[in-house]
Structure 1
């Protein structure tokens, strides 16, 4: 721990070595999911700039996008607003042999919608009543549901916001809604506490990820996820490249008949 009581930043070499090892285990988990026809749902929640998106990126880096899908839903349409609240999320639940990672989820109602008054008090209370039942149904049906809350302090969140504001490659990550969350810090804290009170259930508990150091948060979250699923390494049949057949008279068409991408690399020079 540092002098301020916070965890020291994980050294990059150690982080990258352990991350790669865990990513190799995630590939094994993926193959187990496919072989067993398992269904895995991982919910990523937390404050803005808490590191959810970057963790999801590391989780999926080496996975097959046809197996591991990311669900990051936009604001509901006018039609979706008239549906049962959970309905549009159900459409993204995995079939056999699939993993769904929710980059924010149905818990929007207990967080931003509650704090920003995007839902009525009745809608909010109905959510708190229905959500545990909804998740119990998922687990009862055999879905492996894991819920992670990424926790970050006010000072660190502000530092990350300022860094994004000054980085043209990452400025798109900031919205007026994100910045307003700074002025409603305690409102979000109360909303999170009440959400946990109702939805931290034995069948689908919340797991808090300390995210002051993003490197530690990624490693800890992935290691925990792997430890909660009884996967094993699936033995795949060995592959062998077939012999290439002898040419049978094919001649490539003239290059002038096709449009090629210009060689931009030819214009580059060594620094």
Structure 2
């Protein structure tokens, strides 16, 4: 059974993987045998992430820098990578957050959220799928959120992008499933990372997370890895178009 989850020989591109959840996901894939490509826009951050991943997993990753919101840069970068070796797994993790009451929400912030959180997943999936279709195989995992299903005050635009990720996932399943490609979404709940440190340190907010989550706590990034490995491996070859919530039970209860 363990061979079902073995990623040896599979190449995985993880967008937005120079830090935080993206780096944790990339590291988990590497630890399970994948040849990982780290992505970001900051070369220094990428170099630091690569050193961290190699130290933890013993596997040296490829790194690449490009703007996931720019169609030309996406096409050029993936063409470069595919010329070296196939991309077997695409993890669309790149994302940002902006918070404000909707009546005060800046249009520029809305546009940035849509471009980074949703359009980027369309652009990378569109480009990667061309070679996957030719090979008759591939895995695409889009990173959603509990906000793919639940709304919360001051982040309506963010929730809209993550709801879009859920439906993009289903639409890609319809398009790509007949070609032997599985497209699913991994939707984290509230996870403690360097990007959420201010919220973790906020006693009132952390108390709300603990009370709202049946598990009674924040998630740990390593707890996302098992689901990602499943969705990236042969174990999920008949799983398609699904949004898998890894949220300690938050979306299951009221």
TM tier, smaller? 0.3 to 0.5
Q: Which has the higher helix share?
A: 2
Larger radius of gyration: 1
TM-score by length of 2: 0.43
TM-score by length of 1: 0.41
